[in-house]
Every structure is written in structure tokens, then in C-alpha cells.
Amino acid sequence: MKPLLGAHVSIAGGIPRAVSRGSDLACDAIQIFVKNASQWEGKPLTDTDVEQFDQELRDSEISTLVAHSTYLVNLAATKPDNLRRSRATLGDELDRCHRLGIPGLVVHPGAHLGAGDEAGIDRIAESLQEVYAARPECQTRVLLENTAGQGTLIGHQLEQLSAIVDRAGCDGKLGLCVDTCHAFAAGHPIDDEAGYEAFFEKAQELLGPDEPSCLHLNDSRHPLGSKKDRHANLGEGHLGLEVFERLVNDPRWHGRPMILETPMGDDSEGHRRDLELLRSFLA
Ligand SMILES: [Zn+2]
Ligand SMILES: [Zn+2]
């Protein structure tokens, strides 16, 4: 197996259009939103969309897909209305992923909004149980993403993510997505070898040897422990390049998508440059 390098690509103009954007960057893997990411509800997915997407993929070199949930979803929301909407939206996105054959949907666990970590973790676990209970046929897994820990966001510690998985159960349908920027901003010193090993060993110990199922490769605009979620192009932030060289050459992650969510830059070539850099690290 080899590292599956790729990027988050836009679905502007329709979901099938994302494939050619990934091909243009010679991606092995792409990440997409399965509907407009800034709205609760999206246009219904048509059979034609699904067929075109399948066809485009078959004609491409892209072997691996992952989706990212909208930022509006808060599975720990304290207002009943917001919680209901968040669960409904996540359910709709899982249905879309299932139809599109996307095996994993990356989700930010949620913000407890003052209720406290424990109450937040309980509510997220309940949300996931409810959403999966309503769609037993769904094959798409939710990949909980570690967060930078800004405000009341849950998921900046791996223990919180494993607590969600343990409480929710969901028959193995929950996994982990590790974002390098978020881990570093949350205070995990993954920029050196000892910090990298400690973090990933703990991730596998707590969440299982098959995790993380997905990696987000982003440099961080802010320093270690800043709790700020601002991505930088590789080598242009505080993380430095060493961690990325280590990641793409770590056989544990081969066969799993490694996705850039870095700035596009003024010339829109940010992902191309970051991918070139990653490929240049391959031993
Ligand atoms: Zn991410
Ligand atoms: Zn981020």
C-alpha cells in the first residue's frame, strides 16, 4: 500500500465536478462536502448526480473518498431546536454519503456551550446513536475529528473522542480523523518525533489500531497550544515540515486518505504546491 495523497476539493457546479478538480491535482484521494457547507439543507441529490459522480470516478485515478460535514452541525447543542436540526442534517449527509458510496464522513464532535465536557460528550453520543438508529442500512462511518479546543469545543483531547465512541457504540461505525493543525493548536507537540509518536500511539491505543481512518495535513498559523484553528500552507506555519515528511512515510497510514485543507492562495495553486511538497518527501 502507498500513501493516498489528496485535498479537499470544491463541489461548485455540482458534486460530479469535484472529481475533475481532484484529477487536475493528480489526487489519490479527495474530500468533499456533500451539500452546500454553510446551509442546513441542501438541494436534493438526484440519480443523475449520483450516476455522473460514479462515472467520473471510474474514469479517474482517484481511489479514495471522504466527506466533511457542514460546520453548522453541533451534536452537543443545548437548545432543543438546534440539536434537532443538527441531528437531521447529519442524518441527511450520511444518506448522501451512502448514496455516493463515500465510506467516511468527517464530523467535528461539537461544542458544549457551557454545559461542561461530560454533558457534552453524553449529548454527542446520544446524537450519534439516534442518527444511526434511524438508518440501520447506512454503511458510511462518522469520523470524529480532533479539534483545536477553541471556546467550548469538545475533542481536543483524544480521551474525549474515545469517550464519545465508547458511550455511543454504533456498531463500529465511529472512527477518528486526525487534523495536524488542530492537534498542534490543542497543545500536542507532534512537530518532533517524540511528540508525534506519543500522540499517534495514544490515538491507536484509545481508538483502535485501524484509526485514524483519515488524516488532515495542515500547517498551523498559530503556535503550540494556541487553541486557534487557522490552517497554513505546509512549511509556512508553526508546525514545520518534519511532521509531514514523517506522516507520508509512516506505513501505518498507507492506504488511508491524507487530505490537505490548506489555503488556496491568491493564485489558487496552494494545494498543488503542498501536494508537490508531500510527494517530494516520499522515500
Ligand atoms: Zn480538518
Ligand atoms: Zn481546521
Place of cell 518527501: 281
Is pLDDT of 193 > 90? yes
The reply to whether 116 falls in a domain is yes
Is pLDDT of 131 > 90? yes
Give the model confidence (pLDDT) of 5-61 as tens digits. 999 999 999 999 999 999 999 999 999 999 998 899 899 999 999 999 999 999 999
Whole-number pLDDT of residue 283: 77
Give the model confidence (pLDDT) of 268-278 as tens digits. 999 999 999 99
Beta partners for residue 6, in sequence order: 29, 259
The reply to whether 157 falls in a domain is yes
From the list 181, 210, 37, the residue with the least C-alpha distance to 107 is: 37
The whole-angstrom separation of Cα 31 and Cα 44 is 20
From the list 278, 215, 255, 210, the residue with the least C-alpha distance to 63 is: 255
The reply to whether 276 falls in a domain is no
The reply to whether 267 falls in a domain is no
The reply to whether 226 falls in a domain is yes
Domain total in the chain: 1
Is pLDDT of 261 > 80? yes
Mean pLDDT, range 147-170, rounded to an integer: 97
Give the model confidence (pLDDT) of 242-258 as tens digits. 999 999 999 999 999 99
The whole-angstrom separation of Cα 176 and Cα 107 is 9
The whole-angstrom separation of Cα 252 and Cα 92 is 32
Q: How far is the CA of 231 from the centre of ligand 2 (A)?
A: 6
Residue type, 73: V
Q: How far is the CA of 182 from the centre of ligand 2 (A)?
A: 6
Mean pLDDT, range 194-219, rounded to an integer: 98
Q: How far is the CA of 136 from the centre of ligand 2 (A)?
A: 30
Whole-number pLDDT of residue 146: 98
In sequence order, what are the residues at sequence separation of 6 or more whose Cβ sits closer than 8 angstroms to the Cβ of residue 209?
Answer: none
Q: Are 258 and 213 in contact (CB under 8 A)?
A: no
Q: How far is CA 67 from CA 15, 34, 50, 61, 224, in A?
A: 11, 7, 15, 18, 27
The whole-angstrom separation of Cα 203 and Cα 18 is 31
* CB atoms closer than 10 angstroms to residue 54: 14
Whole-number pLDDT of residue 220: 98
Q: How far is the CA of 145 from the centre of ligand 1 (A)?
A: 7
Q: How far is the CA of 181 from the centre of ligand 2 (A)?
A: 7
From the list 228, 248, 253, the residue with the least C-alpha distance to 238 is: 228
Q: How far is CA 238 from CA 98, 173, 191, 231, 275, in A?
A: 37, 34, 9, 10, 19
Place of cell 501505518: 252
- pTM summary value: 0.97
The reply to whether 8 falls in a domain is no
Q: How far is the CA of 179 from the centre of ligand 1 (A)?
A: 5
Q: What is the CATH number of the domain that holds 130?
A: 3.20.20.150
* CB atoms closer than 10 angstroms to residue 81: 8
Q: Which ligand is nearest to the CA of 260?
A: 1
The reply to whether 195 falls in a domain is yes
Q: How far is the CA of 229 from the centre of ligand 2 (A)?
A: 5
The reply to whether 270 falls in a domain is no
Residues flanking ion ligand 2, Cβ below 5 Å: 229
Give the model confidence (pLDDT) of 177-187 as tens digits. 999 999 999 99
Q: How far is the CA of 176 from the centre of ligand 1 (A)?
A: 11
Q: Which ligand is nearest to the CA of 66?
A: 1
Is pLDDT of 1 > 90? no
Beta partners for residue 232, in sequence order: 219
Tell me which residue range forms the domain holding 106. Answer: 46-59+69-256
